[in-house]
Amino acid sequence: MSKPGNKMGPIDFMLFSTIMLLVAIGVVMVYSASSYSAFFNPAFKNDSMYFLKKQGLVALVGIGAMFLAIRTDYHKIKKYTKIIMIGAIILLSAVFAFPPVNGARRWINLGPASLQPSEIAKYIVVLYMAKSIEKKGEKIKSLSHGVVPYLLVSGFYAGMVFLEKNLSIAAVIMIVTLIVLYVAGAKTSHMLGLIGLVGLAGVAGILFEPYRMARFTSFLDPWADPKGKGYQLIQSLLALGSGGIWGMGLGESRQKCYYIPEPHNDFIFSIIGEELGLIGCTFIVILFIIFIWRGIVTAVRAKDTYGTLLATGITSVVAVQAIINIAVVTGSMPVTGVPLPFISYGGSSLVFNLIAMGVLLNISRQNEYS
């Protein structure tokens, strides 16, 4: 086993290429999906390239941060984990000082830009678990000393995100926690119990919030209220159906013309389906499958437990979000606000995802075959 600080090898070029391709597709599709609404909206200065400029700038910043992370030994993160965890708590608390947007308090407004702390919280949990489980070793097989502490810490961060009216990201945090615990060696019997517990918490989160319950019932039969609760899903399905196999052509979407609300955000995959067809959607899915495969390879080949768990967690965050987003857009699960990683519009999401990719690529530079 090599020690931190040893000379690093080359990055996983296939993983790097997949990430860059997803980011490039995201920037192009954000422009395509937003150009119509931005051009006819005075709030965006009637500039069809408004969202393209912002997403393009954020992508450049994120890629720069990713390259910095690629060159930084991932072991150095350990010493800053506690500071980052405390900072995340402060940021998650700070959102309540700002006025709600559409009933949710998820953003810290910084003038022309905004910060969404929940995007940090997803990775904070991964950093903490990777560092702590490496020290704990075989104690992870114990329920009280190995599993419950991580469930409580992750539950705390997920709870703070949940208070921001963001059940979807809270669910992502808990799902990723279960994946990392399983990979770390937690007992199957404990994991089955935890899955049931997290599932019950999710059901409770739906039942005790009328708007979430409405989303769930509309998912079961969106045509029961086509102009109300089922509207967004129906428009998404119409976009996907209109695209057929080959699509209507880049920039030719009709559903982005004020039919799908904010088509450049969570429902951008439906615009991809309309403009690029089944072929385009399949290509995106294949890219995410390649990403997951290379992420798993990076985790398996990592030289230490810390690297393995860190790679597992980072890969899981992206994979879980991609699966949920595509499932929502295709009507396979209730509508929820999870962006499509690297592709949906959003500065915080893109920057923090790219920083995490830099860490993942750095782990690939230090695998046992380097």
At 369, is the pLDDT very low, low, confident or very high (cuts 50, 70, 90)?
low
What sign does the dihedral 103-58-340-244 (CA atoms) show? positive
HEC secondary structure over 69-138: HHCCCHHHHHHHHHHHHHHHHHHHHHHHHCCCECCECCCEEECCEEECCHHHHHHHHHHHHHHHHHHHHH
Please, how many CA atoms are within 13 Å of residue 269, restricted to the half-sphere of its CB? 27
- Residue pLDDT, tens place only, 122-146: 999 999 999 999 998 888 888 888 8
Beta bridge partners of 114: 109
Place of tokens 């990979």: 183
The candidate with the shortest Cα–Cα distance to 341, out of 361, 318, 363, is 318
Q: Whose CA is closest to 218, among 324, 326, 331, 323?
A: 331
Least trusted range by pLDDT, from 54-58, 88-92, 187-191, 232-236: 187-191
- What is the chain's mean pLDDT, rounded? 90
Per residue in 170-224, pLDDT (tens digit) is 989 999 999 999 999 888 888 888 788 877 877 777 777 776 677 677 778 888 8
Position 118 scores a pLDDT of: 92
Task: Please state the rounded mean pLDDT for residues 232-251.
Answer: 94
Identify the burial level of 58 via C-beta atoms within 10 angstroms of its C-beta, where 0-12 means exposed, 13-18 middle and 19 or more buried.
buried
pTM: 0.92
Average pLDDT over residues 102-113: 80
Helix 50-70 vs helix 13-39: crossing angle, to nearest 10: 160
Q: Which pair of tokens denotes residue 346? A: 């959003």
Tokens found for residue 237:
């399905």
Report CA-CA distances (Å) from 103 to 37, 96, 228, 309: 23, 12, 18, 36
Distance CA 309, CA 184 (A): 7
Alpha helices in 167-250 (DSSP H): 167-184, 188-207, 210-220, 231-243
User: What confidence category does residue 275 fall into, taking pLDDT thresholds of 50, 70 and 90?
Assistant: very high
For 222, residues 6+ apart whose C-beta sits below 8 A from its C-beta are 229, 230, 231, 233, 234, 237, 331
